[in-house]
């Protein structure tokens, strides 16, 4: 029996229907010599620290750095996942051939390989490698199955990425939490997360510390056209006024009038990051929201595989383009002119060298149905971009006029669209965004003179603009460098922070941990995020360029040009160096991480600070150091022996719930409370009930079982 293993039940169903495995069983489909099962995404994960060494379950500095001699994989500890794994394992161990039908990318390869590893499979493995889930694509993929070992380098890169994230994330998080956190909260550090946060923190601080400066600009109006002085920003008002007084009564003379015809090429096809940027600009969608919408469209067979970082198509897609255009019925008015003649084959669209595993995101030509309004909007972006690349260039006329008064130069520029070309695809968008008609510049003659109306405008320098999700995604793609040119961005993709498929999750993680927050469309760092970055002295952890270099090496591993063992060793050396640097740094820093309740208190008008005093629970012994006595602080009870190094603390409030004296006593003496109602979930209006318990390392946690 041939066993096919997909990533999701919905994908497994599509594959099963296509290959004739139509009998529904418990956890799989069967028929026509095939069994088709699925993994629910990740069934397996890298082992946790406690799985290697029992003592590693404790967050203690003396156990750092934690470097397993050999990394292992385990099945995720969830009843539903464990059950599905045993079904998959039973099928795999009896298989005569295994067909890996996971998502055709790095993450999909890792998900399946870990399952094969834990199931101890021995059957030969084939790989289904397709760019869409249409019936035609699945049939073509099964007719051209690839050998599983062709993707060993892809798995090696994904495995190295996961191990690297484990090594740095777990060690650095425990290191900084135990060394610097005053409160009993986690300071999360990550290989991609931390440099991304550093970029946002640096931008936030630049804006906060920005001091505006006045400057003046000299302008003049001649024949209803505004000219700007080449002096640019004039820092002294007296200088601007002096220049104005000199030219006021003198005539304005045209010294040059130049009109050049130019061309604007169609925008490139979408990769995932470009689509997320466009959706954020046009619709205000978050990166995570766009990823979910385009993934849904992929699973509904409407677009090709979305988690890509290329804007090109391979040559073999070219013959299929007319068929796709013909099936885009809703866009017939735009596609009809294209189908009347042979389609152009531009190098900006078709380039085999620029395509590796997958090509740019394009529509499949399947009839649009069963989509939500948001999915339809994203589909429209992808489809219009696909249509636009086959339209001719937009022809424009660029005008540059130079003039002078007493040898002081002025300049005016203008643009006129002569032939819209690809812009007709976006005419509705253009008409909405323009708001007013484009004003045409008059024709000037060199040497003509006449009166003009000069003036000086007072302005102020502006701070840098805060990141939006669109500009943050671009910054991650270029490792923090400001790059506008599309060609340059293409060259820098190998050195970007994270991958297109992971960037949305990184941003959402920073929001979830309250290191960043939204202010309208802007993204700004919170006090917590700023404190965390400022406490990290190690520049490697914060550097987008160095993180980008790690990403480049991971891509080289994928190409077979760099050894995974070398990448792992470099990260081990970094973790060891970082641990020694932090543990033996004489400058002690402590940061205070605020939860939601504390933030609310912080924002209230300040009251006089109450003196620390002893309270009813002073006679109890501390669960951590076993010594007697507690002190009442401003927001929490803490061990009276804090000066001797004990950091045991219990907050007055936990998840919005004020604790009674009995509950505090129970928590200290018994290690848990009775059931308490009404805890507030962070970032949600939902409330949950549960018991508070002390963990092995004496943190307070909520048990909702």
Catalytic-residue membership of 58: no
Query: 417 is written with which tokens?
Result: 């669209």
Pairing of β 97-101 and β 125-127: parallel
What's the rounded Cα separation, in Å, for the pair 37 and 3? 8
3-state class (DSSP) for residue 45: strand
Pairing of β 649-651 and β 653-654: unpaired
Active-site annotation holder among 29, 34, 298, 305 = 305
Exposure string for 564-584, b = 16+ CB within 10 A, e = fewer: beebbeebbebbeebbeebee
Query: 404 is written with which tokens?
Result: 């002078």
Q: What stretches of 306-367 adopt beta strand conformation (E)?
A: none
Q: How far is CA 529 from CA 180, 515, 592, 593, in A?
A: 14, 4, 11, 9
Q: What angle do CA 242, 245, 248 make, to 5 degrees?
A: 145
Q: Residue 506 belongs to what H/E stretch?
A: helix 500-512
488: β partners = none
Peptide bond into 125 cis (omega under 30): no
Evaluated on CA atoms 462, 466, 472, 477, the torsion sign reads positive
What's the rounded Cα separation, in Å, for the pair 5 and 115? 10
Nearest to 457 by CA among 213, 227, 212, 240: 240
User: To which residue do tokens 């006024």 refer?
Assistant: 241
What's the rounded Cα separation, in Å, for the pair 70 and 52? 9
What's the rounded Cα separation, in Å, for the pair 421 and 596? 53
Query: 605 is written with which tokens?
Result: 């008008």
Residue 7 is given by DSSP the state: S
Q: What angle do CA 430, 434, 435 make, to 5 degrees?
A: 125
- Name the residues annotated as catalytic: 305
């Amino acid at each position: 029996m041939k066993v096919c293993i997909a990533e999701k039940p919905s994908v497994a169903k599509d594959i099963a229907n296509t290959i004739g495995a139509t009998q529904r069983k418990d956890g799989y489909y069967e028929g026509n010599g095939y069994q088709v099962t699925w993994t629910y995404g990740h069934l397996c994960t890298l082992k946790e620290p406690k799985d290697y060494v029992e003592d590693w379950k404790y967050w203690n500095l003396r156990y750092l750095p934690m470097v397993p001699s050999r990394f292992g994989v385990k099945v995720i500890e969830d009843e539903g996942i464990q059950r599905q794994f045993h079904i998959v394992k039973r099928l795999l161990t009896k298989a005569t051939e295994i067909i890996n039908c996971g998502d055709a990318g790095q993450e999909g390869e890792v998900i399946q390989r870990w399952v094969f590893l834990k199931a101890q499979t021995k059957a030969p493995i084939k790989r289904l490698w397709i760019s869409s889930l249409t019936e035609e694509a699945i049939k073509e993929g099964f007719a051209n199955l690839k050998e599983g070992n062709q993707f060993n380098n892809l798995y090696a890169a994904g495995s190295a990425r996961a191990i690297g994230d484990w090594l740095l994330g777990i060690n650095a998080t425990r290191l900084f939490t135990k060394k610097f956190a005053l409160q009993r909260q986690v300071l999360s550090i990550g290989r991609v997360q931390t440099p991304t946060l550093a970029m946002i923190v640096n931008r936030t601080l630049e804006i906060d510390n920005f001091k505006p400066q006045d400057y003046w600009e000299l302008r003049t109006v001649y024949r209803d056209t505004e000219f700007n002085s080449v002096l640019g920003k004039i820092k002294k008002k007296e200088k601007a006024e002096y220049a104005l007084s000199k030219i006021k009564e003198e005539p304005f003379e045209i010294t040059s009038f130049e009109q050049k015809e130019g061309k604007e090429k169609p925008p490139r096809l979408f990769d995932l990051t470009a689509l997320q940027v466009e959706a954020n600009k046009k619709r205000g969608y978050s990166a995570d929201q766009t990823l979910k919408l385009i993934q849904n469209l992929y699973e509904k067979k409407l677009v090709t595989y979305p988690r890509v970082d290329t804007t090109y198509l391979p040559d073999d897609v070219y013959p299929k383009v007319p068929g796709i255009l013909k099936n885009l019925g809703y866009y017939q008015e735009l596609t009809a002119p294209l189908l009347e003649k042979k389609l152009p084959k531009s190098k900006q669209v078709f380039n085999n060298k620029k395509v590796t595993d997958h090509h740019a995101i394009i529509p499949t030509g399947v009839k649009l149905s069963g989509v939500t309004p948001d999915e339809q909007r994203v589909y429209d972006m992808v489809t219009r971009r696909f249509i636009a690349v086959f339209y001719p260039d937009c022809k424009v006329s660029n005008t540059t006029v130079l003039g002078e008064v007493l040898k002081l130069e002025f300049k005016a520029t203008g643009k006129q669209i002569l032939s819209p070309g690809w812009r007709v695809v976006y005419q509705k968008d253009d008409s909405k965004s323009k708001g007013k008609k484009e004003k045409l510049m008059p024709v000037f003659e060199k040497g003509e003179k006449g009166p003009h109306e000069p003036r000086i405008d007072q302005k102020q320098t502006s701070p840098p603009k805060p990141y939006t999700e669109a500009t943050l995604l671009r910054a991650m793609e270029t490792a923090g460098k400001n790059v506008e040119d599309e060609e340059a961005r293409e060259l820098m993709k190998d050195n970007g922070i994270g991958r297109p498929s992971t960037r949305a999750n990184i941003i959402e993680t920073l929001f979830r941990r309250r290191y960043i927050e939204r202010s309208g469309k802007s993204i700004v760092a919170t006090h917590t995020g700023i404190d965390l970055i400022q406490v990290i002295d190690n520049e490697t952890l914060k550097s987008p360029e160095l993180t980008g270099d790690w990403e480049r090496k991971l891509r080289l591993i994928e190409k077979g040009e760099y050894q995974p063992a070398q990448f792992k060793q470099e990260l081990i050396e970094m973790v060891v160096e970082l641990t020694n640097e932090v543990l033996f740094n004489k400058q002690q820093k402590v940061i205070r991480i605020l939860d939601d309740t504390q933030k609310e208190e912080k924002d209230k008008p300040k009251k006089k600070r109450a003196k620390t005093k002893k309270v009813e629970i002073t006679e109890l012994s501390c669960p951590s150091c076993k010594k007697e006595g507690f002190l009442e602080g401003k927001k929490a009870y803490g061990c009276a022996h804090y000066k001797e190094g004990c950091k045991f603390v219990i907050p007055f409030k936990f998840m919005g719930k004020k604790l009674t004296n009995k509950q505090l006593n129970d928590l200290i003496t018994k290690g848990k409370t009775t059931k308490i109602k009404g805890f507030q979930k962070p970032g949600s209006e939902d409330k949950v009930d549960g018991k508070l318990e002390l963990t092995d390392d004496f943190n307070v946690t909520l048990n909702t079982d």
